Amino acid sequence: MTIKEKEEILKEAKDRFDISSEMDKDNRKRCLSDLQFFNGDQWEKKAEENRKLEERPIITINKIPSFVDIVTGEARINKQNIKVVGVDENSDPYTANTIEGLIRNIEWRSFAQMIYDMSLESAASCARAFFRVLLKYTNDEDFQQEIVLARIPNQFSVYWDTMAVEQIDFSTINWAFILEELLISDYEKKYPGKSISGDEFKKNIEFWNTDVTKTDKVIIAEYFRKKEVSKEVIYYTKSGKSSKNEKDAMKDDNGNAIKREVKKYRIEWFKISGNDILSGPVIWAGDYIPIVPVWGKEINEGAKRILRSITTNAKDANRLYNYFRTIMAEIAMMSPKNPYIGTAKQFAGHEHLWNQSAVGLRNILIYNSDPQAPGAPKRDQPLAFPSALRNELDVATQDLKDTTGIYNAGRGDVSNEKSGVAIRERKEQGQVANFAYSDNLMRAITYLGKILVNLIPKVYREPGRIVRILGYDESEKKMPINVNYGDDAKLSELMTKYNLDPKKAKGINGILNGLNIGKYDVTINTGPSYNTQREEAADRILEFAKSLPDELRINVMDLVAESLDFPGKDKLIERLKKLVDPRILEKDEDDEQEMEEIQEPAIDPLIAIKIQQEEAKLKQENFEVDKKKIEVEKMSLEKLLVKKQLTST
């Protein structure tokens, strides 16, 4: 790369970073304030400083995390699973199932559920979170790669194309940055020969517009950009498909070929400092920038995008609660320190003892007798808790519920609702009010699914590669991919070796699990985890079995055993099936066979049209034959009629 090319890339990166930094600064400031408040920094700085100077108490009762935990806890119960579906005639349901199982394995190996949970908690507490997709080599012996997911722990380290049309899932952004801080000593070890001292360090600070003033930190960034690499023209054909050959094109009313221009892009990756390109460009295998955002609630004020979290509107209510709780604590602390009331003569010469009477325990307090004030000095009456303080505390508590949308029923507290229906409705009210957070996580996982479906054929591309897939029930299986089996004998051999289902593993065009054949998309299934569903199913089947007569109960016990998880389950199921009425088992097999017969293969549209034409032609021919038969029969009847008339005369 020439010096000029480096300068152009760094200038482009600088301009883009400045745009993102400027357009997102209000959201960034608000989200940082939310996060600090969520973590317990809840007093206004000036009020806190004044109280410290006066040595007065500063109490923080942080109620926000409990509200966030309710939202995230409900989402953890209902897991979100990526479902892969085919979208064209070349897609294969069996291959879709393989891709889906491969995605589950990627998630499992990457601890994806932890990534999702922590991202949701961050989005609910400060309105933003990010995670990413990475590639790594499977081992140090070959060049096979695998896909992994990873957290981006610092939710303020990501800057992106804020001018993009759609920023919900980053599918349309053209560039993004992930910033990282390094100690100067670590930077120089990692990038030898890349100086960062003196003026170079100053350039680095100015480049990133950062407020970092420590001289032991340097900022570097991963820079992704979408770059146009070519243009091509595609033509619309009579078959409804596209072609690159103009001869195949359909014509419009003016006789011109129906066409459109398609731009081709690639994703490039760089590692840059403020004044140098440390590595890159590296071509990313996929078509999407591999950063997945998880947002809080969003609203647009004109063209201005505003993000908020559960914390945003609850801050003032929690501040008031802290303030009134602090005053009440202050009054309680003052009760044993109420001042003594007496004359100057009574305290004369012993002031130091009386001034320290509230500190520690003193058995003796000396005073001077004063005829004008008989007896010893007396304590003033203790301060009483004003009822208004308690009322304000209750109001602040209610404000917290109102601003978060989560009430007593949703928190598991005793509430005014008495009936089960009323309690459930109030709880559902809180769930609906904060469903946006779970819904945004679902959108993020959907975008992740799109990234993975696009990336998997490009990474797992080796013919005959064996991958590990996971079923919906988390069962493991080794699966061959991109296998050109050639004939049925080879396919049968593969089925036997890898225990594949011959009714489903049929392949397309002689290739089994061809990941680059056909187009696929993703949907999301949301619900309790498989283990939870299995336990619920087992309970219901057991309850149902108990209601059956003894002679019928044995016919469902194999289903009960299938829903449980314990050592030796398969052997028990096998034995129980031997006790089931054979007629029931035969009926199950007949139902499966009937379902297979119902599922007819998809027919090519051109072939379907040809079949319709032939059927119409056949109907016309049959019509002509029938017409001739009718004419012949009519002539015969006429002859018989004439003959009968002659005979009668």
- Look at strands 158-160 and 304-308 and give their pairing: unpaired
Residues 84-96 have pLDDT tens digits of 998 888 888 889 9
pLDDT of res. 403: 86
Q: What share of the chain is helix, strand, coil (3-state, %, to 5)?
A: 50, 20, 30
Same domain membership, residue 398 and residue 379? yes
Give pLDDT tens digits for 143-197: 889 999 999 999 999 999 988 867 678 888 999 999 998 888 888 888 887 777 6
If phi over 0 gives left and psi between -120 and 50 gives alpha, with beta otherwise, what is residue 335? Answer: alpha
Q: CA distances (Å), 217 to each of 179, 195, 210, 300, 379, in order?
A: 12, 13, 11, 36, 59
Residue 553 inside a domain? The answer is yes
Let me know: does 159 contact 28? Beta carbons within 8 Å: no
- Clarify whether residues 380 and 421 are in a common domain: yes
pLDDT score recorded for residue 602: 46
Task: With beta carbons less than 8 A apart as the criterion, state whether 236 and 250 touch.
Answer: yes
Supply the pLDDT for residue 510.
79
CA dihedral sign, ordered 400, 401, 406, 410: positive
| Same domain? 610 vs 647 | yes
Question: What residues does 307 pair with on adjacent strands?
Answer: 298
Q: How far apart are CA 586 and CA 406, in angstroms?
A: 53
Q: Answer whether 72's CB lies under 8 Å from 116's CB.
A: no
Mean pLDDT of 611-636: 67
Region for 462 from its dihedrals, namely left if φ exceeds 0, alpha if ψ lies in -120 to 50, beta otherwise: beta
Please tell me whether residues 611 and 547 are part of one structural domain: no
**Residue 267 belongs to some domain of the structure:** no
Residue 606's pLDDT is what?
45
* Alpha-carbon span 551 to 495, nearest angstrom: 40
3-state class of 393 per DSSP? Answer: helix
pTM of the predicted model as reported, rounded to 2 decimal places: 0.74
pLDDT tens string 395-442: 888 888 888 887 765 555 555 555 555 555 555 555 666 788 888 999
Residue after which a domain boundary falls, among 433, 456, 482? 433
Could you say which of 433, 456, 485 is where a domain stops?
A: 433
- On whether residue 147 sits in a domain, the answer given is no
Could you tell me the pLDDT band of residue 121, with boundaries at 50, 70 and 90?
Answer: very high
Q: What is the pLDDT of residue 76?
A: 81
Residues 365 and 405 both lie in one domain: yes
* Rounded distance between C-alpha atoms, residue 27 and residue 15, angstroms: 20
Q: Residue 586 falls within a domain, yes or no?
A: yes
Q: Are residues 593 and 610 in the same domain?
A: no
Does a structural domain hold residue 142?
no
Q: Token digits for 352?
A: 């130091």
What residues are paired with 20 via a beta bridge?
A: none
How is residue 417 written in tokens?
């609702």
Mean pLDDT value of segment 101-107: 94
CB 57 within 8 A of CB 328: no
Q: Which domain holds residue 633?
A: 605-649
Helix/strand number for the chain, H first, E second: 22, 19
The pLDDT tens digits of the residues spanning 12-64 come to 999 999 999 999 999 999 999 999 999 999 999 999 999 999 888 899 999 99
User: Of 403, 433, 463, which closes a domain?
Assistant: 433
Lowest mean pLDDT among 49-53, 434-438, 512-516, 575-579: 575-579
Residue partners of 500: CB distance under 8 A and separation at least 6? 494
Cβ-proximal residues to 630 (8 Å cutoff; 6+ apart), any chain:
none
Question: How distant is the alpha carbon of residue 56 from its chain centre?
Answer: 45
Task: Note whether residue 403 is domain-resident.
Answer: yes
**C-alpha dihedral sign at 379, 380, 385, 387:** positive
Beta-bridge mates of residue 231: 263
The predicted structure's pLDDT at residue 472:
78
385 and 426 in a single domain? The answer is: yes
Mark whether 592 and 630 lie in a shared domain.
no
- From the centroid of its chain, how far is CA 36? 24
Half-sphere exposure of 104 (CA within 13 A, CB side): 24
Q: Residue 243 in contact with residue 290, Cβ under 8 Å?
A: no
Assess contact for 258 and 293: CB atoms under 8 A: no
Q: What is the four-CA torsion angle of 196, 197, 202, 207, rounded to 10 degrees?
A: 0
d(CA 11, CA 34): 33
**DSSP state letters, 194-236:** ---STHHHHHHHHHTT-----TTEEEEEEEEEEEEEEEEEEEE
Q: What is the pLDDT of residues 326-376, one digit of tens each?
A: 988 887 776 666 677 888 888 888 887 777 776 666 677 788 888 888 888
CB 175 within 8 A of CB 224: yes
Taking residues 121-136, what's their average pLDDT? Answer: 94
Residues in the chain, how many?
A: 649
Q: Do 329 and 400 sit in the same domain of this protein?
A: yes
Q: What are residue 243's DSSP bridge partners?
A: 235
Question: Would you say residue 555 lies in a domain?
Answer: yes
Per DSSP, the residues of 495-544 read HHHHT--TTT---BTTEET-TTSS-EEEEEEEEE-HHHHHHHHHHHHHHH
Q: Is 384 found in the same domain as 369?
A: yes
Query: What's the CA gap between 198 and 276, in Å, rounded?
Result: 15
Phi-psi region of 513 (alpha: psi -120 to 50; beta: other; left: phi over 0): left
Are residues 326 and 370 both part of a single domain? yes
**Same domain for 364 and 328:** yes
CA 256 to chain centre: 46
CB 542 within 8 A of CB 534: no
Q: What is the pLDDT of residues 210-265, one digit of tens each?
A: 654 455 688 899 999 999 888 777 777 766 677 777 677 777 777 777 777 778 89
Partners of 249 in the beta sheet? 237
* 647 in any annotated domain: yes
The span from the CA of 214 to the CA of 388, in Å, is 48
190: closest CA among 271, 284, 281?
271
456, 435 Cβ separation under 8 angstroms: no
CA distances from 410 to 47, 310, 405, 415 (A): 34, 15, 9, 10
Mean pLDDT taken over the chain: 80
Report the 10 Å Cβ neighbour count for 411.
17
When divided into structural domains, the chain yields a total of: 3
